[in-house]
A and B are shown apart, each in its own frame.
Chain A
Amino acid sequence: SQKIEQNSEALNIQEGKTATLTCNYTNYSPAYLQWYRQDPGRGPVFLLLIRENEKEKRKERLKVTFDTTLKQSLFHITASQPADSATYLCAFQGDNFNKFYFGSGTKLNVKP
């Protein structure tokens, strides 16, 4: 079965730097991969989707890459701000298009 791995250790960076979060998977490459932001006590909020045939997707200060050879997706936040502090989750389409599976998330702390 598909396994999704995100770094369980929190990522601490200084304001203004670029934050890079990693999502690795085993087995098959999903057709779709999503990234979400989750604040404490709240439901996740959708940020970006990238398709299997797309290498990179950008949205404002966010950038997602998808490397099917490495079986990895990277999520970048440039010019990070304290307001970017949250837990970031990646999600993969399952073998059934109706299902997405989530990683455990990586907590990002941006210090002023």
Chain B
Amino acid sequence: SQTIHQWPATLVQPVGSPLSLECTVEGTSNPNLYWYRQAAGRGLQLLFYSVGIGQISSEVPQNLSASRPQDRQFILSSKKLLLSDSGFYLCAWIAGPYGYTFGSGTRLTVV
């Protein structure tokens, strides 16, 4: 069966520090992978998606970047975090007509 792993679960980082969040998928090949962010009490904002290795589409200009170095690995990064980067970050892959499968999320607090 397909599973998606996302870590860490929580992260507290100072302003100006770098960020690296990792997501890996098991049990499928060549998945479409996504990073979403959810601010407190808000909906999910699509940040990046990838249809293959090295292929990244950015939805919103911002302080973040994404990379896909391997078929089943998707990384979200920042060189210098801002306070506004705080939120709940979710990795997901889409399973055709069955909708997204989301990871367990990373709660990022920038202080």
Contacts and interface: CB of A to CB of B under 8 A. Distances in A.
Interface of A: 4, 6, 32, 34, 36, 41-47, 49, 89, 91, 98-105
B78 interface: no
B11 interface: no
A43 B104 contact: yes
Nearest to B6: A43
24 contacts: A4-B43, A6-B43, A32-B97, A36-B99, A36-B100, A42-B104, A43-B92, A43-B103, A43-B104, A43-B105, A44-B44, A45-B102, A46-B99, A49-B97, A89-B43, A91-B44, A98-B32, A98-B51, A98-B57, A99-B49, A100-B94, A101-B46, A102-B36, A104-B43
A6 B43 CA distance: 10
A87 to B, nearest CB: 9
Nearest to A101: B46
Interface in B12-43: 32, 36, 42-43
Given A98-B32, A98-B51, A99-B49, A44 B102 contact: yes
A41 B38 CA distance: 11
B43 A102 contact: yes
- Ranked nearest first, the 3 interchain pairs of A and B with the lowest CB-CB distance are A43-B102, A46-B99, A104-B43
A44 B107 CA distance: 14
Nearest to A35: B99
Nearest to A51: B97
B84 interface: no
A49 B46 contact: no
A53 to B, nearest CB: 13
A46 B100 CA distance: 6
B107 A89 contact: no
Given A42-B104, A43-B104, A99 B46 contact: yes
